[in-house]
């Protein structure tokens, strides 16, 4: 079964073609980073308009890469949520119109299930069951995964997601957008031990997260230093390094707790923040000490992309699931509401 995947939940237009027998045939991505960088974050209306301009040329590009005609498509999957409603509408309308024209089934995919299953596209994919850390600009969640659709929420952020905290911290330090890569690059030149940063909610039991206080602590520290003298590049690098290490320490500690609580020995990290090299290195070292392993997608499939939507959609379409042309989009959509396969 050949499935066209369409991702337009936020600020990337992702298109891919996945074959359930041959694997990923082709994929393409257009990022709106330059478009939104001027504003220090995503402007929903601009994102929606840009998706309209990019989506059809990218579909043509992917079909050309795969050397296939539209009639070779057996099903279409698109991101139905969570995400920005205007951006979601662009992908949904395109997918549904194309499915109607080709007379093939169409399915709205959960954006975070796409991220969770992205590591399945690798040569050595993780086997079920495992604990998943979904960590992105909008989500920080620990999920026990027993199979596709068999999800139990173990813990989540009570306020800012980790990726959101990275973006806001980068903005206050004048590093620009997107925050994750900017903080990581700056932190590479910094001393993480110069300033003391809290490790939120590690002093209490449970698997929930909170990054709002860490962000506020960083803002207070920055203002205190700026009141004494102009911030120097080394000051900013040291703050970035300390902030990143605090986030990484918190995520690693909670992942270890989740593995102990479930008795599982396999962790999957997915989402944009999973591309952070410091987080990957620390998790590999920490989990090796407890006889566990961590797996993740290649960097290009950590951020939003069409391949993860095509794969997740192919799994469900092949199992007989599909939507009608009036199925509502869901800007907010708990992952645990998905039906199991």
* CA–CA gap between residue 160 and residue 180 (Å, rounded): 14
Vertex 191 angle, CA 190 and 197, to 5°: 110
| 138 assigned to a ligand binding site | yes
Q: What order of strands is seen across the sheet that includes strand 140-147? A: 150-156, 140-147, 130-135, 266-270, 293-296
* CA–CA gap between residue 254 and residue 144 (Å, rounded): 13
| 134 assigned to a ligand binding site | yes
Find out whether 122 and 298 touch, Cβ atoms under 8 Å. Answer: yes
| 276 assigned to a ligand binding site | yes
| 217 assigned to a ligand binding site | no
| 60 assigned to a ligand binding site | no
Strands 12-19 and 23-31, by their bridges, are antiparallel
| 111 assigned to a ligand binding site | yes
Size of the chain, expressed as the number of residues it contains: 341
Chain center to CA of 158: 18
| 167 assigned to a ligand binding site | yes
| Peptide bond just before 115 cis, omega within 30 deg | no
| 210 assigned to a ligand binding site | no
* CA–CA gap between residue 14 and residue 63 (Å, rounded): 13
* CA–CA gap between residue 174 and residue 190 (Å, rounded): 16
Q: For tokens 């920490």, what's the residue?
A: 286
| 136 assigned to a ligand binding site | yes
Vertex 92 angle, CA 66 and 138, to 5°: 95
* DSSP codes of every residue in 3-37: EEEEE-SSSEEEEEEEETTTEEEEEEEEE-HHHHH
* CA–CA gap between residue 84 and residue 43 (Å, rounded): 10
Sequence ranges of the binding site for Fe cation:
111, 115, 304
Sequence ranges of the binding site:
111, 115, 134-138, 167, 180, 276, 304
Sequence ranges of the binding site for substrate:
134-138, 167, 180, 276
């Amino acid at each position: 079964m050949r499935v066209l995947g369409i991702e337009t939940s936020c600020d990337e237009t992702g298109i891919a073609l996945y074959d359930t027998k041959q694997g990923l045939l082709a994929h393409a991505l257009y990022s709106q980073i330059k478009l939104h960088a001027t504003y220090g974050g995503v402007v929903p209306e601009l994102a929606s308009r840009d998706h309209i301009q990019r989506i059809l040329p990218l579909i043509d590009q992917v079909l050309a890469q795969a050397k296939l005609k539209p009639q070779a498509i057996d099903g279409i999957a698109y991101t139905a949520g969570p995400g920005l409603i205007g951006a979601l509408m662009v992908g949904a309308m395109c997918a549904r119109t194309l499915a109607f024209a080709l007379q093939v089934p169409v399915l709205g995919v959960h954006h975070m299930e796409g991220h969770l299953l992205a590591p399945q596209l690798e040569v050595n994919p993780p086997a079920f069951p495992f604990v998943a850390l979904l960590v992105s600009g909008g989500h920080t969640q620990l999920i026990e995964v027993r199979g596709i659709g068999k999800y139990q929420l173990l813990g989540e952020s009570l306020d800012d997601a980790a990726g959101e905290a990275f973006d806001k911290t980068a903005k206050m330090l004048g590093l620009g957008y997107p925050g994750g890569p900017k903080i990581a690059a700056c932190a590479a030149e910094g001393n993480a031990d110069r300033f003391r940063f809290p490790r939120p909610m590690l002093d209490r039991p449970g698997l929930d997260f909170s990054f709002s206080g860490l962000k506020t602590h960083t803002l207070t520290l920055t203002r205190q230093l700026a009141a004494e003298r102009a911030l120097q590049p080394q000051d900013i690098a040291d703050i970035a390094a300390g902030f990143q290490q605090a986030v990484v320490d918190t995520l690693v500690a909670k992942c270890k707790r989740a593995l102990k609580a479930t008795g599982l020995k396999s962790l999957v990290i997915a989402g944009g923040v999973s591309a952070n090299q410091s987080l990957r290195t620390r998790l590999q070292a920490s989990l090796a000490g407890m006889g566990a392993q961590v797996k993740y997608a290649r960097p290009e499939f950590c951020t939003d992309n069409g391949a993860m939507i095509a794969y997740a959609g192919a799994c469900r379409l092949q199992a007989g699931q599909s939507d009608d042309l009036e199925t509502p989009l869901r800007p907010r959509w708990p992952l645990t509401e998905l039906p199991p396969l």
